[in-house]
Each structure stands twice: as C-alpha cells, then as structure tokens.
Structure 1
Amino acid sequence: MEHAKPLPSYLVQRFHGWQKTTYTDNQSWYRRLADEGQHPRAMVISCCDSRVHVTSIFGADQGEFFIHRNIANLVPPYEPGGDYHGTSAAVEFAVGALKVAHLIIMGHSNCGGVKGCIDMCSGNAPELSDGTSFVGKWMELLRPGYDRVKDTADPATLQRTLEKEAVVTSLTNLMTFPFVRDAVESGRLSLHGLWHEIGDGALECYNPDRGTFETV
C-alpha cells in the first residue's frame, strides 16, 4: 500500500522508552498475558475523544479492561443484519466470549459528537444530515434522545443533558441484545452508566431508581 508512511519519530522514541522501562520492568506479566489470553472483568464503551482515558481514570493495568471506543460512546439497538456492526460485535465478544462481569458506558463533558447531534437535529449542520456523513448517520442513534430532552433544558445546559442522555440511550439499547438481557437477568452481568467531567475530574454514576446521575 504505497500511501502508508513510517511511524513518526516521536512515537518511535516513546515506544522505545516504554519498551526499556515499563515493559522491561513487567516482562513476566506481559508474557503471562500473551500466553494465557485476556480475562478482563469489565468492558468499557467510551468516546473516541482523546481527552477521555479510562485506564488512567481507574488506574487500570493491561488486561483489566476490554475497551471499545466510538463517537459519543453510543450503543445501537440490537439489529441483526443492520448497518451498525462494530460496536455490536464488541459487545457480543465481551459478553459471550470473555464473560465480563461489568459493562460500563462512559460519557463525558464537551463531547463533540453530542454537539454535532444538537447542531444536526436543530438544523444547524446540514453537512451532517445530507446522507453522506458517517458521523451524521451514527448520531441519528441519539436523535430520539435529543427529542426527549430538547425542551426540558435551556440551551446552556442542553449539551450536558444530552451527553448524559447518550449514556442512558446506550444502557437502554444494551438491554435489547438477548444475550445481554439474559446475562443481566441471571446476575452474571451488571450495567453501569458514567459521565466524566473532564475539566474538574469529577465522575458521576447513573442511578436508575432516581433517573439521575450522582457524584461518585
């Protein structure tokens, strides 16, 4: 493939630094992970946003989290033969093959995908709704959530409200997967909804009994 380029030098330098320090100091652990395979206790579905780093937030080591990232941490509804397979395949593998005990949806503040959804649904981003945008098509998953909250929050707080609605939407859609529902109802799997405030480092957890997010 003639368009591929060598890795940028600063990344090569960082790799060699990691290899000589972190890897060397924990070589037996990495070999064990390679030989015995992965056995994560939790799956985390988070946003692609580079500011959201779940392993750092929870101090996780290699092998602890099975992580899937996409725009706005969305899970589509169960739809065999549908258009959204990447996230659904990751959920299927985590629940069916890895037998994770926890499945966490991690939303966050200042989410660009959610901002795009607001702009698209309010008619201010025609480039997202013209049928050629992959982002626009993906954010259609959140349009029902936008319709639910658009009149309940003033413009200044709509962004944050919809970010949390995206987490609830994903939790709701997870329960449309038969294998997820079976695992939850049998007590083998628990679902968790989180929202992370990037600026002040806060973390909130969804309380389904109250329908609110509460500080952890």
Structure 2
Amino acid sequence: MSDTGNAPATPPLDRLIAGYHRFRETGWNPHRERWSQLGERQQPEVMVIACSDSRVDPSQIFDVDPGEIFVVRNVAALVPPFETTPGHHGVSAALEFAVQVLKVREIIVMGHGMCGGCKAALTQELHGAEPGQGGFVANWISLLDEARDSVAHQHGTTGRPAERAMEQAGVKVSLENLRSFPCVQQKEAKGSLKLRGAFFAISDGVLHLLDEASGEFAPVE
C-alpha cells in the first residue's frame, strides 16, 4: 500500500512542460497573429534592468505582453560603468542593442526588496570568496562598494532599514553608471531617452518610483 504522504514531487522539468502546454493553449493559439508579427521584428519602447531574483519578474509586475519590454536581469539589477577594457560585457552589450538598435525611449532600473545581492554587498559576507564559491558574486556586487559605505555609516549593516537603503542605493548606482555611456548621454541630452529608477517591495507588492530631484522613492498611487 503506497504512502501518498511521501509521494515524490513532480520533477521541475515536468512542471515547466505542463506550463508550456498551458501557454500553447491559452497564450499562443488565441494570439497567433500577434506572435506572427513578433516573429518578424520587435519594437519595445522600454528597457527594464531588473534582478535575477525569481520573485520579481518584470513582465508579471507590469502585466505586459511579449514584445512590449526588453528585459535584462542580473544579480542586484546592476549596470557596470562604461569601459572599453577587454572582457565579456553582457549588460553593456544589451544596453547598446536596446539604445542603438531597438531605440527604446525609456530605461527603467528596478531594484526590489529582500535582494540577496544587495544584502551580500552590505554585509560583505562573500568578501574574499573564491570564484565558484561566491567569488563571482562578490566581484559583481563590488560595484556597490562606495554606496555600501554610505549606507553602513547611516544605517549599519543589518536589519531591514539598512537592507532597504542598500537596495534603493543600488538603483541609484545603476542610473549613475548608465549615464557614463556616451550613447545614453547623447540621447538623454536630446530628450529621446528617459532614465527612471523603480523599486518593487516584495512584502506588500507595491511599486515605488524614484524622484531623482529629491532622491526619494514614492509608492505608485
């Protein structure tokens, strides 16, 4: 007699395949004309730079259809500064494509609550770790070192107030680094590109927008 209480969980791939079948039935089949158009080209007006965190999917948060936003996700939603040194510049390449080829009109940097990358930057818990053991993450979030020092001085390095301050500071760092790219500078100066900062609070599901003049994030009404 089987013990249903100890039945094995459905394998992750099986759950994904089941979701794919639902998508084909309710998402793709009823909108074949739309998908046909997307097969020819994409024309998103907005680029969203967000965290890789599984809880903050920009397409779900903004409730958009495929083709509406061009999304780049990485640990802590970070943008590195413009540089021409040899290397694999994934975020920079995506930014260049969005701005120069797709000609997006807005770029939104969206941080979020309970961000593990920002918390690690704040506590420096991965400092000195070897690549493959946390070192890659530590090197990436070192982009926040200067902002981290300011947050730590004002709020300490533990607790939600400090963590949220770090999460929101991260958005400002990425906006500052975006403006180090010549293509962004030129288009923002001409008024053909707008940069915005946003913050999504996982705890209550509220989106906040940054007022760069005051440096404060305010909830969307």
TM-score by length of 1: 0.90
State yes or no: 1:135 paired with 2:119: no
| Partner secondary structure for residue 55 of structure 2 | coil
Structure 2 unaligned spans of 5+: 1-11
User: Counterparts in 2 of 1:136-151, with a 5 A limit?
Assistant: 136-151=138-153
Aligned position for 1:3: none
Letter in 2 for 1:146: R
| Partner secondary structure for residue 196 of structure 1 | strand
* Percent of aligned pairs with the same amino acid: 37
Aligned position for 1:119: 123
Deviation at 1:182, TM superposition (A): 0.3
Deviation at 1:82, TM superposition (A): 4.9
Alignment length, in residue pairs? 205
- Tell me which stretches of 4 or more aligned residues in structure 1 moved more than 4 Å: none
Superposed CA deviations along residues 82-140 of structure 1, whole A, max 9, x for unmatched, are: 546011111110001000000000000000001111121xxxx2x44235211001011
From 94, 100, 112, the equivalent of 1:96 is 100
Aligned position for 2:58: 54
* 2-structure distance, mates of 1:21, 1:209: 44
* 1-structure distance, mates of 2:49, 2:191: 20
Indicate conservation of the 8 Å contact 1:46/1:67, yes or no.
Answer: yes
User: Counterparts in 2 of 1:55-204, with a 5 A limit?
Assistant: 55-83=59-87, 85-120=89-124, 125=125, 127-132=126-131, 133-154=135-156, 155-156=158-159, 157-204=161-208
TM-score by length of 2: 0.88
| Partner secondary structure for residue 129 of structure 2 | coil
| Partner secondary structure for residue 44 of structure 1 | strand
* 1-structure distance, mates of 2:79, 2:113: 18
Deviation at 1:16, TM superposition (A): 1.6
Check 1:213–1:84 CA distance in 2 against 1; reply closer, same or farther (3 A cut).
farther
RMSD: 1.6
* 2-structure distance, mates of 1:17, 1:63: 20
Deviation at 1:21, TM superposition (A): 2.1
Structure 1 unaligned spans of 5+: 1-6
